[in-house]
Amino acid sequence: MELIDGKATAKTIKAEIAAEVEQMVKDGHKRPHLAAILVGHDGGSETYVASKVKACEECGFQSTLIRFEDTVTEQELLDAVHKLNDDTDVDGFIVQLPLPSHIDEQKIIEAVDPEKDVDGFHPVNVGKLSIGLPGFVSATPAGIVELLRRYNIPTRGKHCVVIGRSNIVGKPMAMLMLRKGQPGDCTVTVCHSGTGNLKEITRTADILVAALGKPGFVTADMVKPGATVIDVGTTRVPDATKKSGFRLSGDVDFENVAPLCEFITPVPGGVGPMTIASLMMNTIQAARKRKR
């Protein structure tokens, strides 16, 4: 069993980006600039956005954090999005999800200029991914593919099973593994709450991606020996022994599944840090497009 070290890989990627940024700046290019909109005070969102701001520093990017209380109206949020669309200094921006229930998330996502949509959530970028055109790819699945690439995990002809059909992880993950090339060329199955014979299917997975947000859901009896298991879950579970009062739990019963695996990602330190590194890759991709 080999552990896939997402934290170390993310660090390497950020250092590669920082080197490219220094060269860009030397060549007279503007420093890449990422903006983030954060609504409310959800603990997870606060942590993730703080990590994104810190990653910008590590990469030599300029960053702007725009905060709203969870009483913000949809119109105020749309106005903020339009302002960032029009701000020629900003290369890319994200609106951290989830948003409060009185706001239509899809409406916000569709208001973002696809050219600045470094989250890859806009239908234009989702559509480009699905027909193999270049565009921005959702950071979590892009980060997983980058791990498979950097760990030289063979994918051609393999059966990749994705558990979860979310727009931001499950569906784009399936599209990426379906693409021609390495990583890619997989036979892909997407499982979800309506799947009847889940265990029978997951047991045939060479690459199993768990992205459903249920702590410990994937148990040893669901995994084929020698499989590569990617754990996307980061659920906060109450834990009185922890200073924070919680611990992070993945979707995989790591203790019992890990011994069976060829490769496995831990939680924390697996997919999470790669989500952030991918966002940085998308941002420098956006910045490269401008002339100066």
Q: Could you confirm whether 224 is annotated as catalytic? A: no
Q: Does residue 283 touch ligand L34 according to CB under 6 A?
A: no
* Secondary structure in 3-state letters for 214-233: CCCCECHHHCCCCCEEEECC
Applying CB under 6 A, among 29, 46, 51, 195 the residue interacting with ligand L34 is 51
* Closer CB to ligand L34, 201 or 248, in the complex: 248
Q: Does residue 273 touch ligand L34 according to CB under 6 A?
A: yes
Question: 51 near 268, Cβ under 8 Å?
Answer: no
Give the torsion sign (CA, 76, 82, 86, 89). Answer: positive
Chain positions 81 to 110 lying near ligand L34, rule: CB under 6 A, are 94-97
Task: Specify the stretch interacting with ligand L34 by CB under 6 A; choose among 61-69, 170-178, 208-216, 270-278.
Answer: 270-278
Which DSSP state fits 97?
S
Q: Per the residue annotation, which of 52, 116, 158, 171 is the catalytic one?
A: 52
Name the CA dihedral angle for 216, 197, 170, 263, rounded to a multiple of 10 degrees. Answer: 60
Least distance CB 200 / ligand L34 (angstroms):
30
Q: Could you confirm whether 52 is annotated as catalytic? A: yes
Element (H, E) at 28: none
Nearest by Cα to 139 from 161, 124, 163, 117 = 117
Applying CB under 6 A, among 202, 228, 275, 283 the residue interacting with ligand L34 is 275
Least distance CB 106 / ligand L34 (angstroms):
13
Q: Does residue 9 touch ligand L34 according to CB under 6 A?
A: no
Least distance CB 142 / ligand L34 (angstroms):
10
* Residue 75 token pair: 């119109």
Q: Which of the residues are catalytic? A: 52, 96, 119
Judged by the rule CB under 6 A, the positions of this chain that interact with ligand L34 are: 47-48, 51, 94-97, 119, 139, 234, 248, 267-269, 272-273, 275-276
